[in-house]
Amino acid sequence: MRRHKKKKPSILLLYPIFILLIIVSIPFIMLASSGGLINNGAYEELKIPEVLQTQNAEKAIQVYFKDEDAVKDVNLEEYLIGVVAGEMPATFETEALKAQAVAARTYIINREKANNEESLKLHKGAAICTDPTHCKAYVSLEKTKENWKEQWEANYNKIKKSVDDTKGIIITYNDEPISAVFHSTSSGKTENSEDVWGGSVPYLKSVDSEGEELSPRYTSTVEVTITDFQNKLKQKKSDIQFSQEREKWVEGIENAESGGVKTIKIGGQTFKGTEIRELFGLRSTHFTLGFQNDKIVFHVTGNGHGVGMSQYGANYAASQGAGYEEILKKYYQGVVLKKAY
Ligand SMILES: [Zn+2]
């Protein structure tokens, strides 16, 4: 089999989430840190969806804590500290952490509005869960103490500040909270959502993302035996035909705009890049494959589905002087930041 240098978009880990009841709280608007604020620190007020309002002056959200198998009401801003701690290393640039806080806040509010039966079932009615493979990563306060040890105070304060400094700020498109999806590391170009999940979303378009090679997960390799390769593909499409000349198994690759693998034709059957990613546990759909003795070797670039904000790309942009607002507007095209509460 020839080595193909095409790659492909990533898979769809839809990170689901949910509910939150926002409440209008004390108007301590901390407009002080003018760093990322637009219009001289005055964000346009966003009308708060009724479903997000509660009678208290607090923003509450229902979370399903998987470890404890329990649903609890928590303060959204406090919960976000645990999400940012779970999603990004505390060593990341402050502006990247702020971008993450705003993206996660937006994601949660958006999911709450888009709540559906399946998610409700998986969450026992809560808006979001703490399972990173399903919703967003979350680290409890106790766990952060364990993880960070003597660095705890400095790290915790840094992350808390990234949440506090962006309090209530969310990303909107047409005055609605966006689906603020994000991923670890892109291939150097993020993905169009339609290339990964099939649905076109105006603000989830492929953009250049610099500095990705600084991510420890930028490149990876996966080896599978030829037998496993054949069996897994056969399980997916039983009509697949493997000819004697293995160099001819891969018949063609259609690339996504990012350069990743959108579809790949193998043995007469067409697979989505996301299917191949899932079947062989690849970190992304940006892969090439070739034979090496009795094995197939995938060379993979990037980590994650590739749609929306790249966390390592955001960190690099911040290291180059970009503020969180600039970072978010780069990865989510045509959006407006607003203060939801
Ligand atoms: Zn979940």
Tell how far CA 79 is from the center of its chain.
Answer: 17
Contact 3, 252 (CB under 8 A): no
Between the CA of 17 and the centroid of ligand 1 the distance, in Å, is: 5
Measured distance CA(11)–CA(21) in Å, rounded: 30
CA of 321 to the centre of ligand 1 (A): 34
Residue 143 has pLDDT above 60, yes or no: yes
pLDDT at site 295: 96
**d(Cα 244, Cα 225) in Å, to the nearest integer?**
16
Confidence of residue 14 (pLDDT cuts 50, 70, 90): very low
Sign of CA dihedral 205, 206, 211, 212: positive
What percent of the chain shows pLDDT beyond 70? Answer: 82
Task: State the distance from the centre of ligand 1 to the C-alpha of 146, rounded, in angstroms.
Answer: 24
Q: For residue 336, what are the β-bridge partners?
A: 172
Between CA 270 and CA 252 the distance in angstroms is: 9
Query: Which CB contacts under 8 angstroms, 24+ apart, belong to 322-328?
Result: 322/95, 323/35, 323/36, 323/95, 324/36, 324/95, 324/96, 324/98, 324/99, 324/102, 324/166, 325/36, 325/37, 325/38, 327/95, 327/96, 327/99, 328/99, 328/102, 328/103, 328/171
- Report how far ligand 1's centroid is from the alpha carbon of 119 (Å): 7
Say how many Å lie between the CA of residue 166 and the centre of ligand 1.
24
The torsion defined by the Cα of 32, 38, 39 and 41, in degrees rounded to 10, comes to: -10
Which DSSP helix (H) or strand (E) runs through 74?
Answer: strand 70-75
232 vs 281: CA distance, rounded Å: 12
What's the confidence (pLDDT) of residue 124? 85
The two tokens of residue 255 are 């690339």
Rounded to the nearest whole angstrom, what is the distance from the C-alpha of residue 282 to the centroid of ligand 1? Answer: 22
Residue recorded with tokens 């804590």? 65
Q: Specify the pLDDT at position 33.
A: 29
Dist. CA 117 → ligand 1 center (Å) = 12
pTM of this prediction? 0.81
pLDDT score of 115: 65
| 113: pLDDT strictly greater than 90 | no
How far does residue 281's CA lie from ligand 1's centre (Å)?
21
Taking the centre of ligand 1 as the mean of its atom positions, its distance from the CA of residue 36, in whole angstroms, is 31
Can you tell me the distance from the alpha carbon of 197 to that of 256, in angstroms, rounded to the nearest whole number? 12
Distance, C-alpha 115 to centroid of its chain: 18
139 Cα: distance to centroid of ligand 1 (angstroms): 14
Determine the distance separating the centroid of ligand 1 and the alpha carbon of 133, expressed in angstroms: 8
Q: How far is the CA of 181 from the centre of ligand 1 (A)?
A: 14
> What is the whole-number distance in angstroms between the Cα of residue 12 and the centre of ligand 1?
14
CA 128 to ligand 1 center in whole angstroms: 5
Query: 112 to each of 19, 62, 82, 189, 308, how far by Cα in Å?
Result: 4, 9, 18, 29, 19
pLDDT at 105: 94
Ligand 1 centroid vs 134 CA: distance in angstroms? 4
- Residue 28, pLDDT > 80, answer no
Which residues lie below 8 Å from residue 271, measured CB to CB, with a gap of 6+?
A: 233, 236, 237, 263, 264, 265
> How far, in Å, CA of 12 to CA of 277, rounded?
10
The span from the CA of 134 to the CA of 49, in Å, is 25
Type of residue at 61: I
Whether 170 contacts 106, CB under 8 Å: yes
pLDDT of residue 45: 47
Average pLDDT value for the chain: 84
**pLDDT higher for 76 or 34?**
76
For 127, which DSSP code? S
Please tell me which residue, 136 or 19, carries the higher pLDDT value: 136
pLDDT, position 118: 73
Give the residues across from 219 on adjacent strands: 301
pLDDT value at residue 122 = 82
Distance 257 CA to ligand 1 centre (A): 30
Q: Rounded to the nearest whole angstrom, what is the distance from the C-alpha of residue 120 to the centroid of ligand 1?
A: 9
